[in-house]
Chains A and B, each alone.
Chain A
Amino acid sequence: MPQTAADPTGEVTRFVLTEFLPDVAADRLDPDEDLVASGVIDSLGLLKLIAWLADRFAVPVDEVDLDPDAFRSVAAIAAFVTATAGRG
């Protein structure tokens, strides 16, 4: 997927790999892989991810509905960040 300067996909991918899949190479992670259904991200992981999104991208997590589908994959998380970052 082409990535613009403002596209958070790369950073989200690096975070997911570092925190949840340290043994997986970046090019082996499908941006559309369902991370919740596959158990890669559990409830503790979601807390960590959401705290990071709030801190890194100023996503106003208290002010937006948290649609489960927005956290299922790297692509979905990146889209969520693009739609909500700095909105608070």
Chain B
Amino acid sequence: MTSGTTEAPTVEDLVEGVTRWCAAFSAGHLERDARARFPHEQWAQVCRSDLLRLPFDPDRGGLGRDLVTTMRVLEALGRGCRDGGLSFSVCTSMVSVGVPVQRFGTDAQRARYLTGICSGELIGAHAITEPDGGSDALAMRTTGRRDGDDFILNGGKAFVTNGPVADVIVVYARTHPDGGPLGTTAFLVDRDTPGLVVGPPIAKMGLRTSPFSELSLEDCRVPADRVLGRVGSGFLVLDHVLKWEVLCSFAISLGEMRHRLARCVEYAGRRAQFGRPIGEYQAVSHQIVELKVGAETTAKWLYDTAAKVLRGEPVTTDLAITKLVAGEANLASAMTAVRLFGGNGYTTEFGLEKDLRDAVAGTIYSGTSEIQRNRVAAMLGVGR
């Protein structure tokens, strides 16, 4: 992905670099989706592309790029890569482990994990949601009990993206029984840790090449030096991760929306009905305009919020609106594309029904659309 010169590559160089890889990343995506298989071959290509190195410390093998640049390149990934599951797994590995280790990790943790996350040799995941939980993520039942130089983790997690293929998982557990949000601690747990059992991939609607699973933790002994951040600061770690997760994963969605828009414009100009290209009918052209409005609105919220994050400003409301706008716009865009392509859109061959199945997830993960509305209401003081 680098330019091959001694000068640091520009954002445009990086975008062009990842775009060149996208045909290889996408090859065979429809078949992989049908089989719901993680694309190990394409993951190896992702590793060679240097994509995973983008936001990380050059001392650990990263490219040292900031959040906005990382988003620009991930947007290019979304635009060019048709395997949405692969893109989602890329984003998850970066933000679930790499981002918090870079921000909160000790030197030893950075040495142990960050180099591998940068190269892609290690695949990362995080385990937050529990079988009985969901939107109330911090009401978790998984516990971490101090025992000498270790913590003993017990409990279970659900919907762990990358779980079946992950080498390291950030597990969030309750270390104080009635500590509220401050009773939660994040732990770096290696896959081969005794007591950690990773379940098989769970069949799901979309993002099928990005496997997820349940985890169980039965007297899982984790050294205290694998606490990520401080004891009790799990929700601070999670807050930092969620900023990156929303901004990076929906930067990918933005790229997918722009790709879909271009496809619909092309199709509407080529497909004729009743003697005219369908784009000449306002019923069609107005739908395409809505795709454009959705993409541009998403872009403004994403990059404006990222700029605020870089300036260290509070973004609780901005992030919730960004997530809400981007998730719903992506879903609406995917549905519009299927309908605009008619019978072709409904077939698997065109890849648009897959996009629609993938897009549903964006209204659920990282806090549902309803939870984002609740957050905005809380920040407005509604109901206080």
Interface set of A (CB-CB < 8 Å, partner B): 20, 22, 36, 42-44, 46-48, 50-51, 61-69, 71
Q: Is B12 an interface residue (CB 8 A)?
A: no
**Who on chain A is nearest to B136 by CB?**
A43
Query: Mask for B221-262, Cβ within 8 A of A = 1, else 0?
Result: 000000001111101100100000000000000000000000
B32 CB → nearest A CB, Å: 38
Q: Given contacts A42-B181, A47-B316, A62-B104, are A68 and B176 in contact (CB under 8 A)?
A: yes
Compute how far the CA of A50 lies from the CA of B236 in the bound complex, rounded to whole angstroms.
9
A38 CB → nearest B CB, Å: 11
Residues of A within 8 A of B182 (CB): 46, 66-68, 71
**Who on chain B is nearest to A66 by CB?**
B232
Residues of B within 8 A of A47 (CB): 235-236, 239, 316
Residues of B within 8 A of A20 (CB): 384
Flag if B233 contacts A66 (CB, 8 Å): yes
Residues of A within 8 A of B179 (CB): 67-69
Compute how far the CA of A1 lies from the CA of B233 in the bound complex, rounded to whole angstroms.
30
**Who on chain A is nearest to B232 by CB?**
A66
B184 CB → nearest A CB, Å: 9
Flag if A61 contacts B233 (CB, 8 Å): yes
A64 CB → nearest B CB, Å: 7
B101 CB → nearest A CB, Å: 13
Task: Please tell me the number of chain B residues within 8 Å of chain A, measured between CB atoms.
Answer: 24
Flag if B235 contacts A43 (CB, 8 Å): yes
Compute how far the CA of A71 lies from the CA of B379 in the bound complex, rounded to whole angstroms.
20
B325-384, CB < 8 A from A: 375, 378-379, 381, 384
Flag if B379 contacts A62 (CB, 8 Å): no
Residues of B within 8 A of A69 (CB): 179
Compute how far the CA of A69 lies from the CA of B183 in the bound complex, rounded to whole angstroms.
10
Q: Given contacts A65-B230, A66-B230, are A43 and B236 in contact (CB under 8 A)?
A: no
Flag if B230 contacts A51 (CB, 8 Å): no
Q: Is B148 an interface residue (CB 8 A)?
A: no
Compute how far the CA of A22 lies from the CA of B380 in the bound complex, rounded to whole angstroms.
13
B105 CB → nearest A CB, Å: 11
**Who on chain A is nearest to B316 by CB?**
A44
Residues of A within 8 A of B97 (CB): none
Q: Given contacts A36-B180, A46-B181, are A68 and B314 in contact (CB under 8 A)?
A: no
Q: Given contacts A44-B316, A50-B236, A62-B104, are A68 and B229 in contact (CB under 8 A)?
A: no
Q: Is B178 an interface residue (CB 8 A)?
A: yes
Q: Nearest 9 CB-CB pairs, A to B? A: A68-B179, A66-B232, A43-B181, A68-B182, A36-B180, A65-B231, A65-B230, A66-B233, A66-B182
Flag if B235 contacts A46 (CB, 8 Å): yes
Query: Mask for B129-169, Cβ within 8 A of A = 1, else 0?
Result: 00000000010000000000000000000000000000000
Flag if A68 contacts B316 (CB, 8 Å): no
Q: Given contacts A36-B180, A44-B378, A46-B180, are A66 and B138 in contact (CB under 8 A)?
A: no
Residues of B within 8 A of A50 (CB): 236
A61 CB → nearest B CB, Å: 7
Compute how far the CA of A63 lies from the CA of B181 in the bound complex, rounded to whole angstroms.
18
Residues of B within 8 A of A36 (CB): 180
Q: Given contacts A43-B181, A44-B378, A44-B379, are A65 and B232 in contact (CB under 8 A)?
A: yes
**Who on chain A is nearest to B179 by CB?**
A68
